[in-house]
Amino acid sequence: MSIESYIPKLVRASLDNDHRTVRSICTRLIRRLKDSHPDVAKEIADALAYHGIGANTLRSVGIDGGPLDAESRKSLAVVEEPVDVNKPVLSVKVERLIDDFIAEREQAPKLIAAGLNPPSSILLYGPPGVGKTYLANYLSGVFKLKFVTLDLATSISSYLGKTGQNIKSVIDYARQEPSLLFLDEFDAVAKKRDDMSDLGELKRIVNVLLKELEDWPSHSILMAATNHPELLDRAIWRRFDRTIELELPGENERLQLLQEQFQDVNDDRTKNLLLILANLTEGLSCADVCKLSERARRKAIISNEDLTRIIFQELASFTDKRETIFYKKFSKVARDCFQLSVRELADWLGKPPSTVQYYLKDKDEKERNK
Ligand SMILES: Nc1ncnc2c1ncn2[C@@H]1O[C@H](COP(=O)(O)OP(=O)(O)OP(=O)(O)O)[C@@H](O)[C@H]1O
Ligand SMILES: [Mg+2]
């Protein structure tokens, strides 16, 4: 059958609103055009995806269009296949909440039989780098759901005027078939409230979100994340099945992260030093601890130097937003572990030797008094 002969059939089916036939003709056209005219094939695929009638069809020919902006045809969200990532390191309390969420979803048929819905939405809040995005990614792997990310901050600024409509398209896409929709920078819907010109638009967006949250299909999960929970409307909070605060990691969690990062290290000295490091990394986020460890591992490989010494050296200059108590503890531990002179310590810390002497003084005085 020639390509031209599909045209009258396609016109008839479109005029009749016969989506099934349109979809089937389009699938054949995409297959025929994929190699000779990839751009045309992609455009047909995008059109199907945008109208929400083609996700299965597209996948059958190896294309996942993802939701698109109607005019610019730009992608509105990032669609990724689920991947298995390590379980994030969480406080005991948060881990229990997450395990319960997983268990309840795994028992969904039982709940539904009893007239109850399984939980399907989570609002995560907490400072940067505590694993909000990572946790959402992890859950998409646990439930084998496509990971659909919509960054509200960028979508609101780049599609102002039709953001509500675009958010709706992404949500429709995520509802259409099982997926985990992750709304990042969720506070962006609230942030601009003081800007009167955007008020109408933002109200519409919030209304769209509230409505969607109300009857979110149980086969999909909606997760939202924010660093600024105080900006969110009470009405929004109420709609989420779970609201979970991720805090900066405590000493136990930092130790767990360090042990994961240095799991190949077997010598007892390094293992013991990780206990000390877990204490010295107070105030750092999980992302910071991972970054610090990765930097040290990289340097140790390149320089062939002692890994523990490098970790401490990296920690000394990792951030300058430190309290004196850190410098005092650090100076004493580093001096004792690596037999550093005051000058070397001063170099590591980027401080004058006299200041380092002051950091070291306390304990020495105490020891003298013993
Ligand atoms: N709880 C955690 N357990 C294990 N690794 C973590 C954890 N939190 C963060 N990480 C590591 O740090 C990286 C960055 O964290 P992530 O992007 O998830 O933080 P976030 O809370 O989403 O931050 P932001 O508010 O800036 O978006 C992750 O990819 C992961 O490697
Ligand atoms: Mg994030």
Which atom of ligand 1 is least distant from the CA of 134? Answer: 18
Whether 97 and 231 share a structural domain: yes
Instruction: Please give the Cα distance from 311 to 115 (Å, whole number).
Output: 54
Whether 296 and 273 share a structural domain: yes
Q: Residue 214 falls within a domain, yes or no?
A: yes
Q: Domain boundary residue among 245, 280, 304?
A: 245
Q: What is the pLDDT of residues 254-283, one digit of tens each?
A: 999 999 998 888 888 888 889 999 999 999
Q: What is the pLDDT of residues 46-93, one digit of tens each?
A: 777 655 544 455 555 555 557 777 666 667 788 888 888 999 999 999
pLDDT at 61: 52
| Å from CA of 290 to ligand 1 middle | 9
Domain extent at residue 51: 6-64
Please name which of 195, 200, 112 lies closest in space to residue 164, comparing C-alpha atoms. Answer: 200
Residue 10: pLDDT over 90: yes
**Strand intervals (E) in the chain:** 78-80, 121-125, 146-151, 179-184, 221-226, 242-245
Q: Residue 81 falls within a domain, yes or no?
A: no
With beta carbons less than 8 A apart as the criterion, state whether 184 and 85 touch: no
Q: Is 227 in the pocket of ligand 1 (CB under 6 A)?
A: yes
Residue 122: pLDDT over 90: yes
Which range (42-56, 240-254, 307-321) has the least confidence?
42-56
Domain count, the chain: 3
| Å from CA of 211 to ligand 2 middle | 24
- Best residue among 92, 130, 294 to mutate for probing ligand 1's pocket (most ligand atoms within 8 Å of CB) is 130
Instruction: Please give the Cα distance from 191 to 27 (Å, whole number).
Output: 43
Q: Domain boundary residue among 245, 275, 304?
A: 245
Whether 318 and 184 share a structural domain: no
Question: How far, in Å, are 67, 119, 215, 230 from residue 206 at the CA level?
Answer: 20, 21, 15, 16
Q: Domain boundary residue among 188, 218, 245?
A: 245
SS3 252: helix
Note the maximum CA span of the chain.
99
Instruction: Please give the Cα distance from 256 to 347 (Å, whole number).
Output: 30
Whether 105 and 241 share a structural domain: yes
